[in-house]
Amino acid sequence: MTAAVPLFEGRRVVFAGDSVTDCGRREGAGGGLGEGYVRLLAESAGLHRTEVLNRGVGGDRVEDLARRWDADVVIESPHAVSVMVGINDTWRRYDAGQESDHATFLARYRALLERLAPDTAVVLMEPFLLPVTAGQQSWREDLDPKIAAVRRLAKEFGAVLVRTDEILNSLVASGRPPESLALDGVHPTPEGHAAIADAWLEAVTARSVR
């Protein structure tokens, strides 16, 4: 885990998203933080003495996030909100025929961020895919525009952007087997979660020392 100066010390950070963020937290794993990157961050020097809340829910698409946004995120009056969502918007197109229009995805995601208090720090994490089957290769045509939407929103809202997809795929390009990071291409292994946590800390720390 990359060491960092304390970030958001004494503040509250809410992590929202799908199963990558959830990672068992609803079953009480990790003391309610899950067993993934959120717990790793909560235990890191980078979030020392920071209140970390995990509000990830497995299977969520951006429209699901919208339905629980006020009750799970806004009500907590967070100093910072970190969001990773989008892979299920893509996945449901291929396993359930539920296509998510890119313009609608962008508009719904933007509406979430607009509901936060103006002084809330925002961290946006790219949804990612590490194809492990031939069929998953075709998912890129749907996921890439959603990643572009996240990058666009990061610019619009002055958010920290965590280039999750770019970083994880660069590890694969350098010789790391994709299954070592995400067995099914989507759900991270412990090694994958560690890489995500490192990427988050590096991106947030880089912004904080500007």
The pLDDT tens digits of the residues spanning 70-95 come to 999 999 999 999 999 999 999 999 98
CA distance 182 to 89: 18
Helix/strand/coil for 118? coil
- The active-site residue out of 77, 101, 170, 184 is 184
CA distance 140 to 157: 25
Q: What is the mean pLDDT of residues 185-196?
A: 98
pLDDT in tens, 104-136: 999 999 999 999 999 999 999 999 999 999 899
Question: Does the annotation mark 187 as catalytic?
Answer: yes
For domain 12-208, the CATH superfamily is SGNH hydrolase (3.40.50.1110)
CA distance 83 to 121: 11
Residues facing 52 on adjacent strands: 13
CA nearest neighbour of 36 among 179, 172, 182: 182
Q: What is the pLDDT of residue 16?
A: 98
Cβ-based neighbour number of residue 56 at 10 Å: 27
- The active-site residue out of 18, 19, 44, 82 is 19
Whether 138 shows a pLDDT value over 70: the answer reads yes
Which residue ranges make up each domain of the chain? 12-208
Residue 85, CB half-sphere, CA atoms under 13 Å: how many? 30
Q: What's the mean pLDDT when you consider all of the chain? A: 94
- The active-site residue out of 48, 79, 102, 187 is 187
First-residue to last-residue Cα distance in the chain: 22
CA distance 178 to 185: 7
Whether 210 shows a pLDDT value over 70: the answer reads no
CA distance 132 to 46: 32
CA distance 76 to 78: 5
CA distance 117 to 120: 5
Question: Does the annotation mark 101 as catalytic?
Answer: no
Whether 29 shows a pLDDT value over 70: the answer reads yes
**What pTM was estimated for this model as a whole?**
0.95
Q: Which amino acid, residue 200?
A: W
Whether 195 shows a pLDDT value over 90: the answer reads yes
Question: Does the annotation mark 19 as catalytic?
Answer: yes
Residues facing 12 on adjacent strands: 51
Query: Which residue, chain included where needed, has tokens 């719904």?
Result: 108
Q: What is the mean pLDDT of residues 140-162?
A: 97
Q: What is the pLDDT of residue 6?
A: 61
Q: What is the pLDDT of residue 49?
A: 87
Q: What is the pLDDT of residue 126?
A: 98
Q: What is the pLDDT of residue 9?
A: 81
Give the contacts of 201 (CB within 8 A, at least 6 positions apart): 1, 2, 4, 7, 41, 44, 46
Confidence band for 207, pLDDT divided at 50, 70 and 90: confident
Q: Which amino acid, residue 169?
A: N
Give the contacts of 118 (CB within 8 A, at least 6 positions apart): none
Whether 209 shows a pLDDT value over 70: the answer reads no
